[in-house]
């Protein structure tokens, strides 16, 4: 077995042969009585481990404080510290063999999710490990994606099976998901419970972690932007199925109307995620089992007021009392939105004053995730809102993040509107735009597809053959953008092409004015292109989108050739993008009208000076940035919809996005998206 296979086997079941849940017992047994032990790896082989005094739990810092079998939450500060301590220990190892031995030692000591998080983190951040491709989280933890009843039934079936049985065991999930027709909110459960969506969220928070010293460019701003785009896409999906746009969760003193019952288990322990009944109230946090101090809702309200005061005053104060101005029009230093993102998320290492502005977004996740058992009276586990791999399943996630986004939008509305000069590009005229798919013009289609994973990597089915997990998901037929542009300059000109999508009508069926539609524009693509003088025809494939991963980024093909280190590091880093299969909203069976917005800007103004050798993600750069380098677009994220429109366009009685198209470098196009259900043919 190669080093690579051995290391990646640590992501798999079965776990090493010592499986006691009591961390200290395990290490004493190994350290004192068996100075060298064999550890069974997932692929059925063993490795011999040397004695490792540094695997002593006392040297792992706080990494062992999270009990095995329970949930690991990056929203909980003590859990973040545990992750930091374990990641630091992993980062100190020298070489693949050393890491593998050390990780195998601690795998059965530390919390399972913490272990996978930390091993993933170190593969992503240790330069010599950049040729390792992270396995899909669906295969590592099928329990976080598939209801426990499917998994238990399959395990029972595997035990009963004749060992010579030839047919493959398959677990199917979907398209009913956990929904019924009784609850309107369940109409979008297929989307909230999508495997790719939840992997995206887990992966994104792995690439942009808080308090882990990763030094990512514009981290606070991308926290705002990526989550804002989640809300726009959720709203497009809701409008597709006849639901109103999501409402923010702003009043934390009244019941949350919608409950959530995930039917999932936390790890391999069989411990169920906490559930939330309809009309549950958020409550003051009174548990003492996860190392957090008591926290009242009042405290969240105080933090919110301080953030809002800062927005309207235009500045924050740091711990020394210095004034930090909040403005997005800066030539050096951080934009206001970036500072606000760090303070709000919150990252205590980057917030201007963590004690004062608090830990609002993280602790809102925590209070909601414990609202069913805030004082541990029932010894219930946290709800799915506590884990970035499961939080997006819960309807309340979007209500919380709509609140978060509204605070950010309140800040954005304090910024000066864009001027015509900011928006236009003299010398460049867009003549025509369209999309084509299967020879149809401006008509796109969606429907159901299926994807297979190998569940037996994450769960021991005692089956000699792999057990396949077949998941149903929304998908769309690939398409191409066609853009015809005239360059009136006498020389080649490099431009940035920006493409957005939004529904044309609101829930009442009316065409939306600019300010209503402004927060519904979803980025579809952004790329650079060199225009020759005269007419230019650009054809761009939907699979090359700057927001999505290619399809196979969430899937491991064991028969594929090994990746080069460049491919693998791009896979691990850039794999945090939006799932390709959710690039389009569902639309309606009878067709639903959306608008595409095309904007051409001058790359001279957009470009960012990078250090030599910086490699951009070929895909997903809009959400993932660039590995070890700066975010490659100098404009504020969300440009041009992140601010109010120029007053000079306000002469229309009701301004719409189409008024932007009076500028030659902008054009819009109505398109129809039709949902074909099971009849989708790609
Ligand atoms: Cu991604 Cu609240 O930050 O979930």
**183 within a domain of the structure (yes/no):** no
Closest atom of ligand 1 to 400 CA is 2
345 assigned to active site: yes
Given the structure tokens 């602790």, which residue do they identify?
363
Q: Where are the alpha helices (DSSP H) in 74-217?
A: 77-91, 96-107, 112-125, 137-140, 148-160, 189-192, 195-207
pLDDT (0 to 100) of residue 45? 52
Mean pLDDT by 10 residues, the chain (682 residues): 77 53 34 43 55 71 94 96 96 88 88 94 84 85 91 86 84 76 92 95 94 91 98 98 97 98 88 97 96 96 98 98 97 96 97 98 98 97 98 98 98 95 95 97 97 87 86 96 98 98 96 93 97 98 91 45 57 79 98 98 94 67 84 96 82 71 92 96 87
Dist. CA 505–CA 516, nearest whole Å: 10
CA 397 to ligand 1 centroid distance, Å = 8
Query: In this structure, what DSSP letter does residue 392 have?
Result: G
Domain boundary among 78, 99, 129: 129
Q: Count the domains in the chain.
A: 2
**509 within a domain of the structure (yes/no):** yes
**Three-point CA angle 193, 196, 199, nearest 5°:** 95
Domain boundary among 99, 129, 159: 129
Dist. CA 75–CA 120, nearest whole Å: 18
**608 within a domain of the structure (yes/no):** yes
b/e sequence 660-676, b meaning 16+ C-beta within 10 Å: bbebbbbbbbebbbbbe
Contacts (Cβ under 8 Å, ≥6 apart) of 368: 256, 276, 282, 383, 385, 396, 400
**348 within a domain of the structure (yes/no):** no
CA 681 to ligand 1 centroid distance, Å = 34
Q: Write the CATH number for 82.
A: 1.20.1370.10
Mutation test of ligand 1: which of 388, 398, 623 has the most ligand atoms closer than 8 Å to its C-beta? 388
Cβ burial of 567 (10 Å; 0-12, 13-18, 19+) is: middle
Residue 47 belongs to what domain range? Answer: 3-129
**259 within a domain of the structure (yes/no):** no
Per-residue tokens: 611: 């250090």
Q: Look at residues 517, 486, 485, 488 and name the one whose alpha carbon lies nearest to residue 596.
A: 517
**13 within a domain of the structure (yes/no):** yes
Closest atom of ligand 1 to 401 CA is 2
Predicted complex ipTM: 0.99
Cα dihedral sign for 244, 249, 252, 256? Answer: positive
Query: In this structure, what DSSP letter does residue 172 have?
Result: E
Closest atom of ligand 1 to 226 CA is 1
Mutation test of ligand 1: which of 390, 401, 402, 623 has the most ligand atoms closer than 8 Å to its C-beta? 401
Query: Which of 12, 30, 237, 345 is an active site residue?
Result: 345
CA 384 to ligand 1 centroid distance, Å = 12
Closest atom of ligand 1 to 391 CA is 4
CA 211 to ligand 1 centroid distance, Å = 15
Cis peptide preceding 375, ω within 30 of 0: no
Per-residue tokens: 660: 């932007």
3-state helix, strand, coil in the chain (%, to 5): 35, 20, 45
Closest atom of ligand 1 to 204 CA is 1
**297 within a domain of the structure (yes/no):** no
pLDDT (0 to 100) of residue 574? 65
Residue ID of nearest Cα to ligand 1 atom 4: 388
CA 205 to ligand 1 centroid distance, Å = 8
CA 583 to ligand 1 centroid distance, Å = 20
Domain boundary among 84, 111, 129: 129
Show the ligand 1 pocket: residues with CB < 6 angstroms: 201, 205, 227, 361, 365, 388, 391, 401
**618 within a domain of the structure (yes/no):** yes
């Amino acid at each position: 077995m190669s080093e690579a296979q051995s290391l990646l086997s640590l992501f798999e079941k079965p776990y090493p042969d010592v499986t006691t849940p009591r961390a200290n017992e395990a290490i004493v047994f190994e350290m004192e009585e068996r100075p060298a032990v064999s550890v069974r790896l997932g692929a059925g082989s063993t490795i011999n481990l040397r004695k490792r005094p540094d695997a002593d739990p006392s040297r792992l810092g706080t990494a062992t404080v999270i009990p095995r079998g329970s949930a690991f939450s990056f929203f909980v500060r003590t859990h973040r510290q545990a992750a930091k301590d374990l990641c630091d220990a992993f980062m100190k190892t020298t070489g693949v063999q050393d890491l593998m031995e050390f990780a195998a030692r601690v795998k059965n000591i530390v919390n399972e999710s913490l272990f996978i998080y930390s091993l993933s983190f170190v593969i992503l951040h240790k330069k010599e490990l950049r040729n390792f491709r992270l396995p899909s989280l669906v295969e590592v933890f099928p329990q976080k994606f598939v209801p426990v009843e499917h998994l238990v039934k399959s395990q029972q079936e595997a035990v009963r099976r004749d060992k010579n049985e030839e047919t493959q065991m398959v677990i199917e999930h979907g398209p009913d998901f956990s929904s019924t027709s009784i609850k309107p909110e369940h109409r979008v459960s297929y989307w909230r419970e999508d495997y790719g969506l939840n992997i995206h969220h887990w992966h994104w928070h792995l690439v942009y972690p808080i308090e882990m010293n990763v030094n990512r460019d514009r981290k606070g701003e991308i926290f705002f932007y990526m989550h804002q785009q989640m809300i726009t896409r959720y709203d497009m999906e809701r409008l597709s199925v006849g639901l109103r746009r999501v409402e923010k969760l702003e009043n934390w003193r009244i019941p949350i109307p919608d409950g959530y019952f995930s039917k999932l288990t936390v790890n391999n322990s069989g411990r169920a995620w906490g559930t939330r009944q309809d009309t549950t109230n958020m409550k003051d946090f009174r548990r003492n089992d996860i190392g957090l101090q008591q926290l009242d809702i009042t405290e969240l309200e105080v933090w919110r007021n301080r953030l809002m005061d800062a927005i309207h005053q235009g500045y924050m104060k740091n711990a020394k009392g210095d004034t930090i101005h909040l403005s997005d029009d800066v030539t050096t230093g951080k934009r206001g939105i970036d500072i606000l993102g760090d303070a709000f998320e919150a990252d205590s290492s980057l917030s201007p004053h963590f004690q004062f502005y608090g830990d609002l977004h993280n602790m809102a996740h925590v209070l909601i995730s414990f609202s069913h058992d805030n004082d541990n009276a029932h010894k219930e586990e946290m709800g799915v809102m506590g884990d970035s791999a499961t939080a997006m399943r819960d309807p309340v996630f979007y209500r919380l993040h709509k609140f978060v986004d509204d605070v950010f939008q309140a800040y954005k509305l304090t910024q000066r509107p864009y001027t015509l000069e900011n928006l236009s590009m003299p010398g460049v005229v867009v003549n025509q735009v369209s999309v084509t798919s299967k020879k149809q013009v401006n008509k796109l289609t969606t429907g159901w597809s299926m994807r297979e994973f190998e569940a037996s990597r994450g769960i021991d089915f005692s089956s000699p053959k792999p057990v396949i997990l077949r998941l149903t998901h929304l998908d769309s037929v690939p398409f191409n953008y066609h853009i015809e542009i005239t360059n009136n300059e006498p020389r080649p000109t490099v431009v940035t092409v920006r493409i957005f999508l939004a529904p044309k009508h609101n829930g009442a069926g009316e065409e939306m004015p600019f300010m209503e539609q402004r927060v519904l524009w979803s980025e579809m693509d952004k790329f650079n292109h060199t225009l020759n003088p005269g007419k230019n025809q650009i054809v761009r494939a939907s699979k090359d989108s700057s927001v999505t991963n290619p399809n196979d980024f969430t899937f491991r093909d064991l028969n594929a050739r090994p990746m080069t280190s460049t491919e693998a590091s791009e896979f691990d880093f850039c794999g945090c993008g939006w799932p390709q299969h959710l690039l389009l909203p569902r639309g309606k069976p009878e067709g639903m009208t959306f608008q595409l917005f095309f904007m051409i800007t001058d790359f001279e103004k957009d470009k960012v000076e990078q250090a030599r050798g910086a490699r951009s993600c070929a895909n997903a750069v809009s959400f993932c940035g660039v590995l070890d380098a700066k975010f490659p677009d100098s404009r504020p994220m969300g440009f041009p919809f992140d601010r109010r429109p120029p007053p000079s366009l306000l002469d229309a009685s009701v301004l719409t996005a189409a008024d932007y198209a009076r500028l030659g470098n902008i054009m819009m196009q109505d398109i129809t998206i039709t949902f074909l259900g099971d009849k989708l043919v790609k």
